[in-house]
Amino acid sequence: MDLVDRHMRPRLADALGSARVVILHGARQCGKTTLARAVAAERGGTYITLDDQQVLDAARADPRTFLRAYAAPLVIDEVQLGGDRLVREIKIAVDEDGARGRFLLTGSTNFLTVPTVSESLAGRAVILRLWPFSRAELAAAAREATEGRRSDPSTASAADRFATVSGQDRDGTASVVERWLKGGTAAPESLAAGEADRPDRDDYLEMVCTGGYPEVQQLAPAGRAEWFDSYVETVISRDIVNLGDIRRDGLLGRLLRLAAANTASEANLTRWSQQLGADRATVESYLGRLRTVFLVHELPSWTRNRSARVVRRPKLHLTDSGLAAALSGVDAAALRTPTATATGSLLETFAVSEIARQLAARADRATLYHYRDNAGREADLIVERPDGAIAAVEIKATSSPRATDLRHIAALRDSLDRTEPGAFRAGILLHTGRHALSFGDRLLSAPLATLWGSPTRSDD
């Protein structure tokens, strides 16, 4: 496929200009190598990968000489394979000269949780996470390709036609979320025209099952399933097992499939351990390894009682909806049936991941949570700024949203208005329909494509 411009790129460039070391980590095959190579080339630096056994042997044998043999910035791909000794030599090197942007390190495991690396480079490194492609990135690439070819937009898919009509800027999702946090609940201008050009429910389900990994974008459903199977096998056998202390690697695959079947839900480790025939401590440890290699992520439970966030169950999501669908054995055709039970949870994972991917590419310090109170009222996503401003999001697979779908968020709004006036900024219902409608005070129902469409430019 054509090269997709990553929205992380400007933030990565800023980090290289201000920090001595930049660590870019994320799931294997999410595009780190392509981005790192491009950065090294445009800055006249050097790219090397520790996936090459000869390079790895040299790095481990004499890391000091190894690091000084290459032009800066030095990009070291899969740096975690070099172990603690290499990272310590990086620390020594940057302490000696203090040069900014000397090293760009990439890794397919979470740098701060790798047991073989004890040196965190605290105070010397900026750590960025790269996710698989966001829908905003793919839509922008499709629009640019269409404009470059001067082709007839009617030949593009509905999703791509929407991208062309919407004219979103590069940080479309983040801009939309920012607007929510400022109290903006008007629909994007692009939703006021061309209803037929907007994605429909079938389009969304195809997006869900494709996901964002670069390699699967041009594959048919059967090819995607095979790719995901091979991908999981590689990550487990190469990345997780290399972390050590894995005695039952077969359990990892079963746990990941169970997590996929339960994506967008609270992880009940006691029940999972019974289903897997393993003790709870092992399941908890292995789930941690799946987090370390970015196959799953969690949303903490949101409450104004800060200490309570660590004791309530987090909500677990697979990192990519396409991976979750493949591991669950479903495709878009299966999800279209009215009785499909996985549709809602996979669509929720898709939307949550889209927002997370866009926020990760910006320097904004918004944090994502889920919400459930003692009365059973829930919100799929809470986006909170450090100043306490929040936007609450509900995600539904329906094409015919109703005001009652926002009743739990309306109750949260009313509660916060009594206790913390001004904290609640917006409540959003994202759905698979084609209409954007106001459902009352700071409440909006909007198509999922709002996330990668242009925000309205008028002031609130």
For 283, the token pair is 């399941």
Asked if residue 85 is part of any domain, the answer here is yes
Q: What is the distance between the alpha carbons of residues 122 and 112, in angstroms, rounded to a whole number?
A: 10
- pLDDT tens per residue, range 403-441: 999 999 999 999 999 999 999 999 999 999 988 888 888
Q: Is the pLDDT of residue 124 over 90?
A: no
Per-residue pLDDT band at 187 (split at 50, 70, 90):
low
Asked if residue 155 is part of any domain, the answer here is no
- Please choose, from the candidates 46, 15, 16, 36, the residue with its C-alpha nearest in 3D space to the C-alpha of residue 78: 36
97 and 222 in a common domain: no
193 and 117 in a common domain: no
pLDDT at 312: 78
Hey, which residues does 378 pair with through a beta bridge?
372
Q: Is the pLDDT of residue 198 over 90?
A: no
Query: What values do phi and psi take at 348, rounded to 5?
Result: -65, -45
Asked if residue 147 is part of any domain, the answer here is no
Say which CATH number the domain at 20 has. 3.40.50.300
The residue written with tokens 């800023």 in the block is: 14
| Average pLDDT estimate for 254-271 | 95
285 and 427 in a common domain: yes
Q: How far is residue 212 from each of residues 218, 225, 266, measured CA to CA in Å? A: 11, 14, 23
| Average pLDDT estimate for 324-328 | 96
Domains contained in the chain, number: 2
Task: Give yes or no for a contact between 48 and 40, defined as CB atoms under 8 angstroms apart.
Answer: no
- pLDDT tens per residue, range 359-416: 998 877 889 999 998 888 899 999 999 989 999 999 999 999 999 999 999 999 999 9
Asked if residue 102 is part of any domain, the answer here is yes
| Average pLDDT estimate for 255-266 | 96
- Please choose, from the candidates 448, 390, 452, the residue with its C-alpha nearest in 3D space to the C-alpha of residue 183: 390
Q: Which of 129, 161, 184 is the last residue of a domain?
A: 129
- pLDDT tens per residue, range 28-77: 999 999 999 998 899 999 999 998 999 999 999 999 999 999 988 999 99
Q: Which residue has the higher pLDDT, 112 or 131?
A: 131
Chain mean pLDDT for the chain: 85
401 and 255 in a common domain: yes
232 and 113 in a common domain: no
183 and 72 in a common domain: no
Asked if residue 161 is part of any domain, the answer here is no
Q: What is the distance between the alpha carbons of residues 262 and 284, in angstroms, rounded to a whole number?
A: 15
- Please choose, from the candidates 234, 250, 255, the residue with its C-alpha nearest in 3D space to the C-alpha of residue 327: 255
Q: What is the distance between the alpha carbons of residues 263 and 248, in angstroms, rounded to a whole number?
A: 23
Q: What is the distance between the alpha carbons of residues 122 and 142, in angstroms, rounded to a whole number?
A: 39
Longest dimension (CA), the chain: 66
177 and 77 in a common domain: no
Asked if residue 458 is part of any domain, the answer here is no
Asked if residue 457 is part of any domain, the answer here is no
Asked if residue 1 is part of any domain, the answer here is no
Q: Which of 68, 103, 129 is the last residue of a domain?
A: 129
Per DSSP, helices labelled H in 329-442 are 332-336, 343-360, 407-419
Q: Which of 129, 145, 162 is the last residue of a domain?
A: 129
264 and 406 in a common domain: yes
**Residues of the chain with pLDDT > 70: what percent?**
85
- Containing domain of residue 115, as a range? 9-129
| Average pLDDT estimate for 69-96 | 90
